[in-house]
Amino acid sequence: MTYTSPLLSRPGAVEGGGEDSGVAAHYGEPLREQRALAAGTAVVDLSYRGVVTVTGPDRLSWLNTLSSQQVTNLQPGTSSELLLLTIQGRIEFDARVVDDGETTWLLVEAAEAAPLAEWLTKMKFMLRVDVADVSADWAVVGSTKAVDAWSGRLVWEDPWPHIGAGGYSYSVVEEDSHPGLERPWFEYLIPAAELESAVDGMALAGSMAADALRIAAWRPRFGAETDEKTIPHELDLLRTSVHLAKGCYKGQETIARVHNLGHPPRRLVFLQLDGSQHTLPAAGSAVFAGERKVGTLTSVAQHFEMGPVGLALIKRSVDPGEVLTVLDGDEPYPAAQEVIVAPDAGQVVGRQTGFLKGPHR
């Protein structure tokens, strides 16, 4: 069933596409909306998102055994992020996690909700847990500031870009200067029936605004930066989604082996695109270094301050100083890369020198 937000009836609303279908891409003034969202004076409708709940006394210990994150002692109201991986360490699901003391809420992309609920249900065995896809009953609304009017509502606060307990940074940028700090991010859970009244009187921004701020914060998104081969190391997700010292879980061997002894085959980069064409290349366009295809543009947006920007997943071996070209059909877009994941990320055992200049926690 195709989702359509009631907020699409607002004046000027233009529906988004792809992963953002069902909500407004913008309400007529994308850059003004983006500026307001960044300033914390607007909120964004994310009600297409999937919401899966896990209840029962074994819920946290059970999720702990399945996932990359340490959540056994997750305190009510504390936000986290977990990954469910294949045996090869590839990302199957990426869930935002918050527990209210009785229920664990998993906020996911729309396409993840039904398969995640189905997969979790198959993994219940004899444990005291119940899984439900409640996406139809709940809406998600995003903001860069805590919303006073919603102080009693359950909220997930993005841990990005802070390095969590048991996490590790693959970035050459220190945590206190990471661009993600300029984008605090909150996702509020609101009953679907109350969505219109909850945002009454508030300025609205479209999904284009939220995505542009996400890209500028170097924040990977499931379904955009991920494909069937993605491992967390390639996206710097060990900082928020992986606890390197926790017990056994599916995919752990790959996580440990790449981190300690190897290198991820690809690395996420931030691209500052040439804006002279006054157009943007499409996500999915090929990225070239000279005549050699080296990767794929995964996300792209017009940022209200920086102009056209994007994220791309490229081969680890690409020289960080090389100017890249994004090719959309026959249209080339020169792009300067900014390193997110260091070319020598991983292989931390015995690390003394290198691009990362010593160990990160």
Q: What is the dihedral of CA 236, 297, 324, 233, to 10 degrees?
A: 20
Check if the beta carbon of residue 258 is closer than 8 Å to that of residue 89: yes
Q: Mark out the alpha helices in the chain (DSSP H runs).
A: 30-39, 59-66, 110-122, 195-198, 207-216, 252-261
Q: Which helix (H) or strand (E) holds 308?
A: strand 307-315
Q: Which helix (H) or strand (E) holds 133?
A: strand 130-133
Q: Which helix (H) or strand (E) holds 203?
A: strand 203-205
Where residue 73 falls (left for φ over 0; alpha for ψ -120 to 50; beta otherwise) is alpha
How far the first Cα of the chain sits from its last, in Å, is 44
Q: Is 175 annotated as a binding residue?
A: no
Strands 24-26 and 91-99: unpaired
Angle among Cα 311, 113, 5 to the nearest 5 degrees reads 80
Alpha-carbon gap, residue 223 to 219, rounded angstroms: 13
In the numeric block, the tokens 């504390």 are attached to: 78
Annotated binding site: 187
Annotated binding site for substrate: 187
